[in-house]
Structure 1
C-alpha cells in the first residue's frame, strides 16, 4: 500500500503555502503583545500620545494582515484535506473493484461502508485541523518562549512548567482513550450492519411480527455503544478541566512572579501584560492542538482499518497446481449441436469450498459446453447450482481442478477480458439508481460501442419493452435503488436486457425466469433461442427449476450435494439418472 505521505506529496506546493501563512499568522499574533507592551511602557506611562497613536495604527495593520493570512491558511488547509480524501477514496474504490465475493464476505458490508465513509472523513478532518492548529504550534511555542525568556527567565520557567503538566495530561488521556476508540469503531460497524439489515429486511420483520425481537437487538448494541461512549467522554472530561485549570493558574503565577520582579525594578508593567499574552497564546495554541491530538489516535485507527482494505490480497487466485490432463467430461455422449471443435467452456474436476466450510460446496465437477449449445443445471436447493455460475466469471476462486474458457484457463485470462465475454444474470436481479437506459447500458463491455437501437433490441428480446413503453419517460424513467419501484419480473427482464446488450460469447442465467409469468417466460425463451441460433457462436448456461424448460436444452447437468449426479440429454437422464427421475416424479412429468 502507498504510505500516507504519498497522498500529501502531490500537495507539496499548497502545503508550503500553508506553512508560510502559518508563519505569518504566528508572527503577527505574537507581534501584537510586543506592541502592547511598547504602548504601555513608552506611551501610557510617559504620556506620549503621538507614540500611542502611531503604535495603535501599526497594531491595526498587523491585526488585519494576520486575519487575512489566517483565513487564507484555513482555505488552503481545506483544499489539502479535501484533495487527500478524494485520492484516498479513489484508491479504496479501485481496491474494492478487485475484491472477490469471498473478500466482501470476509470484511462485511458494515465495516466496508464505515471505512470508505466515516473513516476517510475522520482522517480528512484531522489533517485539515492539524494544518490549522498543530502546524503553527511549534513556531508559536518557540517564538513565544523566546520572547518570554528575553523579558524574564523566571516567567519563562513558569510557562514551561505549565506546558509540562499539560503534556502529561494529554499522554494520560491518550493512553486511556485509544482502546476505547478501537472498541467504538467495531461497535459502529456492527450498528451499520444491523441498520442495513433492518432497512432491507423490513418487510420480513413486519410480516413475521419480529419488531420487538429486532428492537431488543438494537437496544442491546446501542446500550453497549453508549457505555463505551460514556467511558470515552469521561476520560476526556477528566483532562479538559485539568487543562483549563492549568491555563488559568498560569496567569496567576505570571502575575505573582511578574509583580515581584516589578517591585524589584527588573521588569516593567507592560512586559507583564505582554508575557501574559504570550502565555495565553502559547497555551491556547497547545489547547487547540490538544483537541486535534485527541482525535489523532482515532484517525490512526481509521487509517489502519483502511490499510487493511488496501493491502488485502485478492483471494481470486489461480489454484496450484491444476492438471491439464484431467478429462473434460463425465459423459460419453457427444453433443449433436457442437458447432466448433474447441469447447467454449470446460469444467475439469473442479472442487470449491467456501471459507471455514467443513466440506466442499462442489467436488470433482466436470462438464463441457460448446458454441451454440444450451446447458441447463438442475438440483436441489443448496446443491451448488449458483456456485457453478459464480465460478465462471471468477466471482470466487476454485480450490482445485480447472475451468477452461476458449481453450485457456480462466486464471490465465485477464479478468476484465474474461468478464467482457460473459453476459451474467444473477439470481437476484439488482438494478442501480438511474434511468432504464443507464441500467441496460451498464452491460456494455469497456471496448464496446452500442446505440439506442441496440438497447431497444435487447429490451425487445427480453420482453422488457412491453412495460418500458408504459412507463413515464420510457427509457428515461428513473429506477429507484435496487429497482424497488419495479416488480420482480420487470427487474429480471431488465437484468436480462443488460446481459443481452453485451452480445457475449456465453450467457449465464441463474434462475432468471422465476418471477416471470408463463406467457412472458415462453416468449423470452423463444426470443433467446432464436438469438443464439443466429450465428451459433454464443452458448447459454441456465439454472432451471422446471423440467419443462430444462428438457429443451442440449444438455442437462444434475447436481446433488455438490457432485455431478447426471449429465446428458433429457432422454438420456430420464433413462439413467435416479436423481433426475425423482425430479420428474416430483413435477409429475413423464419421460
Structure 2
C-alpha cells in the first residue's frame, strides 16, 4: 500500500491541513477533562459561581473549536481521499489502455474492472480513516496517559492492568477477523465474475434455458460471500461488548481505588472525574486503532492488486528511434516468413507466413475454423508481436513504427462489431474525430448504412445503446465498416466483416468498396467464397500455414483445400 502513497504528492497541502486540524481537535479533547476537574475542585467545592461560568465558557469555546476542527478535518480528508481515488483510477485506466492483448489475456477483463473500481474504493475508504484516526488515536492514547499520570500517578496502575487486557482482546478478535476480511475480497471477485457472465451472456442463458442454473451459481457465490461476511461480523461484534466490559470494570476499579485516594486526601474529586475520562479516551483510542488495523489488510490486498496492474509493463513498446513509412511504398504490406506463438503455447498458431499485399488490390484470406485467419489479422496493427520473421508496412518493420502512427494508417473492422454508447454519427467519427458531416454521410453510403440510418427516428443523431443492442448484427457491421472508411487509411482490414450481411448487400458493399479504396490496400478475411471470388489474390490458410495463393480460377485448379471449401458452399453450376 505504501507504493500508492506517491499519488498523494499532489495533495500535500490538504493533507497537512488535515493533520494539523486533527492534532488541534485531539488537544482540545484532551484539555476538556482538566477544565472540568478545575470547575469541580475550584468552582463547585468552594461555591465560586463566577469561576464556574468563566471555566464553563472556556470549555464551550474549546469544544466549539474542536468541533470546527473535526468538521474541517472531515471535509479535507474526504477531499484528499476522493482526489487520490480519482487520480489513481485515471492512472490505472490510462496504463491499462497501453496494454497489448497479451496483458489483457493475462489479467482478464473482469478482474481489471474490479481492480479499477472496487479495489480503488477500498483503498480510498481506508485512506480517510488513516488521515483521521491514525493521527488522532496515537496522540490521544499517549496524551491521555500523560494527563492521567499528571492527575494521579499511583492510580495509573489500574490502567497498567486494564490496557493490556483490552489489547489482548483486540488482538485475538483481529487475529480471527483479518483473514476473513481478505477472503471476502476474493469471494467478492468471484461474485462479480458470476454476475458479469450472467448479464453479458443473458441471451445465451435464456436461449438454452439456463436461467435457473445461473441463478444457482449466483446464489452459491452470494451465499459464500454472505456466510463469510456474517462470520466476520459475528467475530467483530464481540469487540464492542467485550471492550465495554473491560472499560466498565476498569472504571469501577478506578472509582474504587480513587475513592480511597480521595479519602486519604491524596486526590480531589475533580481529578478523579478527569482521570476516568482520560482512561476512556485511552481505551477508545486503542479500539479505533484496532478498527483501522482490521481494515488495512483488506485495503492492502486491494492495493497489491492495483500495484500488480501498475507494475505490469506492456510487452509491446515503441522503438527508441521510430521510423517513418516510405511514401513511395504507401500501403504496401509484406509478411516475411512470419511465425507466431501465443504466450505459453507449445505450438505456433502461424508458421512461415509470406505474402505481399499491394495498394489498389484486394487480398482475401480464407480457411477453416482455427486456421489462424484472425490471428494473422491481429499481427498487422501490432496487437501482438511476431515470434519470428517480420511484417513490413511501406517497407518498414511495423515494430520500428510508432504504434499510434501505425494504427493511424490502418482501418480495422473487427470480427465482432463493437459500438459505443452515443449517436450514430459519434460512432462513425470514432474513426476520425474531425470528420465533417459530409464525410460521415459519404462513409455511411459506401458502407450501405445510409438507408437504415435515415429511416431511424433522428437519423445520424439517433442514440446507439451500450454495445449497440438496439441494432441488428448487419447494421452494427455496416456502422463498423463506415467507421473504418471515414478514416481513409492506407490499409483496410476486414476481419470476417460481411458475415451478417445478406448476399445482395454483400455484393453492393464490395462493389462500392472497390471504387472507394482504389489507392489503398484491402485485406478481407471471410468464410464465404462468394465474398472472396473477385479478389486479386486469395490466400488459403490451413492449420496456421499457407496452403496456396492465387486467384479464384487458379485455386480451383491447384488447391485441394480451396476446392473443398468451394464445394461445401457452392453448387456445381455456381462453380462453373
TM-score (normalised: structure 2): 0.93
Q: 5+ residue gaps in structure 1?
A: 320-338
Shift of 1:424: 0.7
Which SS does the other structure have where 1:411 is aligned? helix
Shift in Å, 1:473? 2.2
How far, CA to CA, are the matches of 2:63 and 2:222 in structure 1?
49
SS in 1 for 2:392: strand
- Mapped pair 1:98 → 2:98: yes
**Separation of aligned partners in 1, 2:436 and 2:240:** 64
Corresponding residue for 1:82? 82
Query: 1:217 and 2:202 equivalent?
Result: no
Change (3 A) 1:108 1:173: farther
Partner of 2:156: 156
CA contact (8 A) 1:343 1:407 kept: no
TM-score (norm 1): 0.91
Post-superposition Cα deviations, 1:440-466, rounded to whole Å, max 9, x if no partner, equal 11122xxx6322222222122212221
Say whether the 8 Å CA contact 1:174–1:297 is kept in structure 2. no
Taking a change above 3 Å as real, the CA distance of residues 163 and 4 of structure 1, as seen in their structure-2 partners, is farther
Contact 1:109 1:193 in 2 (8 A): no
Structure 2 residues without counterparts, runs of 5 or longer: 320-326
Q: 1-side partners of 2:420 and 2:331: how far apart?
A: 35
The Cα shift of 1:124 comes to 0.5
For residue 368 of structure 2, what is the aligned residue in structure 1?
380
Contact persistence 1:154–1:257 (CA under 8 A): no
Partner of 1:63: 63
2:353 match: secondary structure: strand
Residue 551 in structure 1 maps to residue 551 in structure 2: no
- Does the CA contact (< 8 Å) of 1:114 and 1:189 recur in 2? yes
Matched, 1:472 2:460: no
Q: Deviations over 1:493-527 (max 9, x none)?
A: 11111111111111111111111223322222222
State whether residues 318 and 403 of structure 2, in contact with CA within 8 Å, keep that contact through their aligned partners in structure 1.
no
Residue 533 of structure 2 corresponds to residue 570 of structure 1: no
Partners of 1:558 and 1:312 in 2: CA distance: 37
Q: Deviations over 1:3-42 (max 9, x none)?
A: 3221112211111111111121112112221111111101
The answer for the alignment partner of 1:393 in structure 2 is 381
Query: 1:194 aligned to 2:179?
Result: no
Select the residue among 356, 377, 384 that pairs with 1:368. Answer: 356
Matching of residues 100-249 of structure 1 within 5 Å: 100-249=100-249
Give the match's secondary structure for 1:3. Answer: helix
Aligned to 2:4: 4
**Which residue is equivalent to 2:19?**
19
Structure 1 pair 585–403 and aligned structure 2 pair: CA distance change class (3 A): same
Q: Residue 158 of structure 1 contacts residue 254 of structure 1 at CA under 8 Å; is this kept in 2? A: yes
- CA deviation after TM superposition for structure 1 residue 343, in Å: 6.8
Shift of 1:216: 3.2
Deviations 1:245-293 (A, max 9, x none): 2232222222122222111111100111111111222222332333222
Among 479, 494, 499, the alignment partner of 2:479 is: 494
**Shift of residue 199 of structure 1?**
0.8
Decide whether aligned partners of structure 1 residues 410 and 84 sit closer, same or farther in structure 2, where only a CA change above 3 A counts.
Answer: same
- Seen in structure 2, the aligned counterparts of structure 1 residues 580 and 188 have a Cα distance that, compared at 3 Å, is same
CA distance in 1, matches of 2:2, 2:357: 43
Q: 1:183 to 1:354 in 2, by over 3 A?
A: farther
2:535 is paired with a residue of what secondary structure?
coil
Cα distance in 1, alignment partners of residues 170 and 341 from structure 2: 50
Name 2:445's counterpart in structure 1. Answer: 460
Quick one: structure 1 residues 341 and 485, their matched pair in 2 at CA, closer, same or farther if it must change by over 3 Å?
closer
1-side partners of 2:414 and 2:2: how far apart? 35
Partner of 1:335 in structure 2?
Answer: none
Deviation (angstroms), 1:472: 2.3
Question: What's the CA shift for 1:200?
Answer: 1.5
Deviation at 1:340, TM superposition (A): 6.3
